[in-house]
Amino acid sequence: MPVPSNIPPAFAASCYAQLVALRAELRCILQHPAIEPGRRQAAEAFMDRCTDAARLERWLALAVVECGRWEEQTLASEGRQER
């Protein structure tokens, strides 16, 4: 028997849409070369189970920072090789 919910349907739909959008952004950033395939696979499993939008947002922010650092290091390394 279904359990009745006190959550308004519009709010639930909004939360679901936010989770879908965050998962899509994470999947995109996880394609970056800074993220190794094993980590990507573990992240996919985590994202599919996570229902906490704030946690996904924090994780997305950390992934963006990590990819940015990787790019900075790569550019610096390439710059040293050109000299």
pLDDT in tens, 14-66: 789 999 999 999 999 999 999 999 999 999 999 999 999 999 999 999 999 99
**CA atoms of 58 and 35, how far apart (whole Å):** 16
CA–CA separation, 38 and 34 (whole Å): 12
Domain coordinates of the chain in residue numbers?
9-82
Confidence check: pLDDT of 81 > 70: yes
Instruction: Give the pLDDT of residue 7.
Output: 63
Cα–Cα distance for residue pair 5/11, rounded to 1 Å:
12
- What secondary structure letter does DSSP report for 60? H
Q: What is the pTM of this model?
A: 0.78
